[in-house]
Structure 1
Amino acid sequence: MIDPLARVRTPADPACDVYLTGAVFLDIIFTGLDSAPVRGTESWARGMGSSPGGVANMATALARLGLHTSLAAAFGDDKYGEYCWETLERGEGIDLSRSRTPPGWHSPVTVSMAYEGERTMVSHGHEAPPPGPEPAAASVPETRSAVVSLAPDRPQEWIAKASAAGSLVFADTGWDESGRWDLAALPDLAHCEAFLPNAAEAVRYTRTDDPRAAAHALAELVPLAVVTMGADGAYGVDARTGETAHVPAIVVEALDTTGAGDVFMAGFVTGSLAGWPLADRLALAGLTASLSVQEFGGSLSAPGWNEIETWWRNAQALTPPRGAESGGASGAESGAEGEGPSLVERYAFLTGLLPAAGEPWPRRRAVPTLGFRG
């Protein structure tokens, strides 16, 4: 497996690259629906898959990109939880030493229905019982980085501790159901290295009318601000250097968009820890997200380096560079004006990272059942 941090690792570095905590769901995904379910009728889906979900989406995406990942989470004391634990620990190599299985607590479940490029979800679950005197989330390992999801008026004490210990904290957020969209309600933002909201969230939080303007406003609060813009790609601002970058999205036919934002975050964290230019980080993040939506599920759809290498070989064969003089196009304002670099030029940084084609690394994918009897 490729180690994207091989060039920057030293013997004194922590064993953990990324730490995260959250809830693990069992996801059941239906695809191939012609429309949303209609009240009083039965709908048949042409495809179905099951996989770990929730924070497992992010953890799996990080691990498949070669980062040493530690997850602190509650797993259900049932067959669903057993399946999720085995899939993440044995199948993906994720460190679950800080995770737990509360006795008698059942796994939360989400049913996702994908149609017309959108998805509708129904979830059920109960909050996990509180842990013992030393909460798993408070026992943060020595780690290069941490990934968090910020929610209004819900500060998490461990974030400040991780940041103070030298961890780079990467954060996203969700929809503010209160409608206040007040950045002051996200006090942990002060401890974050990077903030990656989507365009709808970013413009509301900053009271702007443009995602790029929102990114620049957020860069006054965090060193790195990235706004994801769906089909328009992503725009980032590095407040330390003044660097900006826009990388267009790779247009694909999406089977299931579950977890695409988590996979984007994983790609950006990987490039950031490796010390890449901002545009290359956004490019890897967008590429991994585009590859993930072509498979079932949010966690087991995440690509590894073999899938990236296969895409890169095909991209070079189908879209040769416009001219050798264009080079790798790692410029600060990639694609911001004019035609911008070609696809091959934009992703030329992969050439020095990916190996020659070899045996594909076996990856689990979401399947209709939790496991066939064998």
Structure 2
Amino acid sequence: MWRSIASNGITFLIVALFLMAGLILWGQREYTAQGPTETSVCVRVPSGGTMSEVSRDLEAQGVITNGTVFRLGADYTDKTQRLKAGSFLVPESASMAEIVDIVTRGGASTCGTEVVYRIGINRMQVVVRELDPGTGRYVENAAFVPGEDEVPETYTQVRAQGDTRYRVALAEGVTSWQVIEELKDVEVLSGEVAEVPPEGSLAPDSYEVRVGDERSRLVEQMQQRQQTILSAAWEGRVDGLPLASPEEVLILASIIEKETGTPDERGVVASVFVNRLERGMRLQTDPTVIYGITQGEGILGRGLRQSELRAATPWNTYVIEGLPPTPIANPGRASIEAAVNPDDTDFVFFVARTLDPKDGHNFAVTLDEHNRNVAAYRRLEAERN
């Protein structure tokens, strides 16, 4: 009898061990198998959240098939206590193992809500946007101009969330004074900037920032990025340019930046100024005159007067020979690259094609051709008036 009981017990134990082994193998396969999602998903881990809470949320969203397997897998790989707060983009068909790695790896959030402080030519706009995981595109939820518009409740709400991301974006062609003035209204930053950096030394780009970052450190990052771009452009410049240094490249690039808002025209506009420099012709460009008036501090907001075109300032290229002494704005990478690699043309004149700057310019080789283009533009002005 006892032998029978012992035999049955051993049999039961063996069966149990086989079942346990099978269950473990099944769990391992489930943990590493492709997930059920057909699109990317944004997973939000709140500050102080637990792996159990995350697993329940993922199971409810249909991102994982089994919350228990998810938790056990995280425990087995010693990642349960490494959970990081933030919003993380989980790609389609991601396995539970991949998801655990994503939410415990750390680093900046890769999806969710983002606040962008866009420093533009005229003013700064604050935009609250959210990444749509399905399309990979941002959806704008709110926007306002500090000091002019009422602050939307959406902005106040996302500012209170610990996983909101922040970004400062500089438009091409902004002046250094404008950047420093607008950074004062970026409330997530701290500290002051002692002085306005040299004109042209800040790279128009998008910069991710964190709450409490110092404004001065961000400005240093902008300067370092611009120097990197400029150095690479100078090394890759074409032969025979009438530019003696990277600083002169930056000056010419700033003029190109202010003269055209049409990306495809940068190389042609650059060729006009290079041709003029090579022939000893004055550059005669209105943005340099405007800079001589404003010194980059604000927008002129009106047309130039004839007296201003004739007035002698260090930047008035209707009066001075060659390049002005400094850049007149912060040029972007494309304008810098156009300055060191202009199109090969014979053009020495250009004038706006229509009253809309986005429509580009008419270019000319001879003064007669240019005068006809100017006359056509004047007719458009007269028709509008």
- Same fold at TM > 0.5: no
Whose relative contact order is higher, 1 or 2, with alpha carbons under 8 Å and at least 6 apart?
1
Q: Which TM-score applies when normalising by structure 1?
A: 0.24
Question: Larger % of strand: which?
Answer: 1
Question: Larger % of helix: which?
Answer: 2
